[in-house]
Structure 1
Amino acid sequence: MRVGAHVSIAGGVDNAVDNELDVGGNCGQIFTHSPQVWQNPNIGDDEATKFRDGTDASLDGPWVIHSSYLVNLCTPKDDLREKSIDSMQREVDAAAKLGIEYVNVHLGAHTGAGIDGGLDNAVSALDELDVPEGVTVLVESDAGSGTKLGGDFEHLAAVLEASDHNLGVCLDTAHAFAAGYDLSTPAGVDSVVDEFDDVVGIENLHCIHLNDSKHACGTNKDEHAHIGEGEIGVDGMQRIVSHPDLTDLPFVLETPTENGKSFEWNIERVRELRAEA
């Protein structure tokens, strides 16, 4: 089973390998810099080599780079659009340097452009990227609050169909649940997976952000909970990690550190749920 967590690169990106091993993961996700600012990843050659060598020696992979929170592909504002494209180009270039297969990004908010306008903006922004060979951009499902797009599977499908790139999808379980896709029962999980397959295509799903939700289905509230201890719960989470269409995918956790539990506890819980299924 490929399961891991979003870990820190403090002190150098190569430290992410040991940080992932420390929490019991065999794949994972990183930011290349603070996600709250516009910043160059600035990864040195030596640390990139150490990262690649450490990954090859100790982890199953894959790694995912999560783009900056400031990126908004759907925006109608020219200056934010250009900053977003530049930031994404730096991320896909960093992924190539590190041997990382995926760069994950939210579509963002249309802020008045409308759904169709926002999706068109996202496609045109993505199509300006020069994506290196071996790197795939993943569009992440969203909780769907406000004018944010990506909460509906149809949004993801539209972007994948219209883009010149061979894009993929990262499905965040907490986001999908918040957006109204009920994953709290085995039957619900089966229904959501079938709907995803019908609308987007299961072959386009490359990664799962495995998170429970602190809020009820359809609330559009994005707040993650420990695995099995949120509103999705044990039954839903167990079916997600054991569903035959999902078992070979990498599961990357973004669960909280609270109540004496952190990534290590959650990763072990995921493995227990798979084993007990």
Structure 2
Amino acid sequence: MIGAHIQVKGGLARGGLAYTDAVAAGAVQVFVGNPRGWKLTAGDPEQDALFVEGCAERGVPSFIHTPFLVNVGSPTEATVEQSIASITHSLARGTQLGCRGVVVHAGSAVGEDRYDAALAQLHERLLPVLDAVGDSAPRLLIEPTAGGGKSLAATVKDLGPYLAALENHPLVGVCFDTCHAWAAGHDLAVPGGMTATLDALEAAVGPGRLGLVHANDSLDECGSKRDRHTTIGEGSIGVAPFAELLAHPSMDGVPLVVETPSELDGSPSAGHARDIALLCSLLPARASVAA
């Protein structure tokens, strides 16, 4: 289940499924609104239905990525309110679309000495949202950031107290971004580095919490705290760690999506098609993992 964050210009089904086919995606991630704004956009019922049907026909799991502005740990009340509204909306849209997960960045405490207060805020404001959604809701997948600012979770170890603040709610999972982990200081490029990082992730949050991987190479050095994605194999992480990733036991049944440059040789999607094909070529001979 290896795919991409897909382009949906023209509609979730009209544009999104065409892009899915063009890059041979086995999993898809989408935005359901402006990724850099707060506006909550209702879906088009016809496009929604066709998207759900199309994903089911293709056997492709789908995911929603929340807007980048979301930060439940913010000291600014307006930001917290808008973040909660955005997450609630994304979970509702995910339910409508039959999505497997909704990805949200872990966020930041923003100010000095606010880490504990920000985690307490997660417990107070986000936990009730998780308690209120039904059993059919997608999982909320926490994505550690690259480590800039006062990040609430950047290293995989940070995920332990983060999930504890949410009482290890059964609807909470993890989205592991390889570029973010590299930027936060996990040396994935050394032999065994990816394996050790995934072992540490499972030790921090327990088995079965990993719900999605963002497979991205990086333009920067390890520990840079800079989040700049590039084509797999053309960055500082390299190809070999992704083979380690795909062979790790915690990846059994876990989809991957690339968020790498989509354009290549004048084609708007060939970059994603190339990265998906490369990752598929690295798959171990394990029956439970599907490309």
Q: Structure 1-normalised TM-score?
A: 0.93
Distance in 2 (alpha carbons) for counterparts of 1:68 and 1:248: 26
Question: Partner letter of residue 105 of structure 1?
Answer: V
2:150 partner letter: T
Unaligned 5+ segments in structure 1 are none
Amino acid at match of 1:187: G
Cα gap change, 1:52 to 1:276, in 2 (>3 Å): closer
CA-CA distance at 1:275 after TM superposition: 5.8
Residue by residue over 1:151-207, the C-alpha shift from the partner in whole angstroms, topping out at 9 and shown as x without a partner, is 022332222223153200000011001101111133111211221122122321111
> What displacement does 1:22 show?
1.2
Amino acid at match of 2:48: A
Shift of 1:146: 1.2
How large is the RMSD of aligned CA atoms in angstroms?
1.9
- What are the residue-to-residue correspondences of 1:170-185 with 2, within 5 Å? 170-185=175-190
**Which residue does the alignment assign to 1:132?**
134
Q: Give 1:156's aligned amino acid.
A: L
Q: Which residue of 1 aligns with 2:80?
A: 81
The residue type equivalent to 2:153 in the other structure is: G
Query: Does the residue aligned with 2:99 lie in a helix, a strand or coil?
Result: coil
Q: Distance in 2 between matches of 1:150 and 1:61?
A: 29
**Superposed, which structure 2 residues align to 1:150-229 within 5 Å?**
150-164=153-167, 165-166=169-170, 167-229=172-234
The change in CA–CA distance for 1:276 and 1:227 in structure 2 (over 3 A counts) is farther
Report the equivalent of 1:242: 247
Q: Matched residue of 2:196: which SS?
A: helix
Q: Supply the distance in 1 between the matched residues of 2:2 and 2:276 (Cα, whole angstroms).
A: 7
TM-score, scaled to structure 2: 0.89
**One-letter identity of the residue aligned with 1:19:** Y
Amino acid at match of 1:13: L
Counterpart Cα distance in 2 of 1:18 and 1:258: 16
Aligned partner of residue 109 in structure 1, secondary structure: coil
- CA 120–155 in structure 1, closer or farther in 2 if over 3 Å, else same: farther
Identity of aligned residues (%): 32
* CA–CA separation in structure 1 for the residues paired with 2:85 and 2:182: 31
Q: Which moved more, 1:69-78 or 1:159-168?
A: 159-168
CA distance in 1 between counterparts of 2:217 and 2:223 reads: 14
Aligned residues: 275
The structure-2 alpha-carbon separation of the partners of 1:127 and 1:22, relative to structure 1 and needing over 3 Å to count, comes to same
1:9 maps to which residue?
8
Contact between 1:110 and 1:147, CA under 8 Å: does it hold in 2? Answer: yes
Residues 60-94 of structure 1 deviation map (CA, whole Å, 9 limit, x = unaligned): 23211000111111112111110110111111111
Distance 1:56 1:180 in 2: 38
Which residue of structure 2 aligns with residue 44 of structure 1?
A: 44
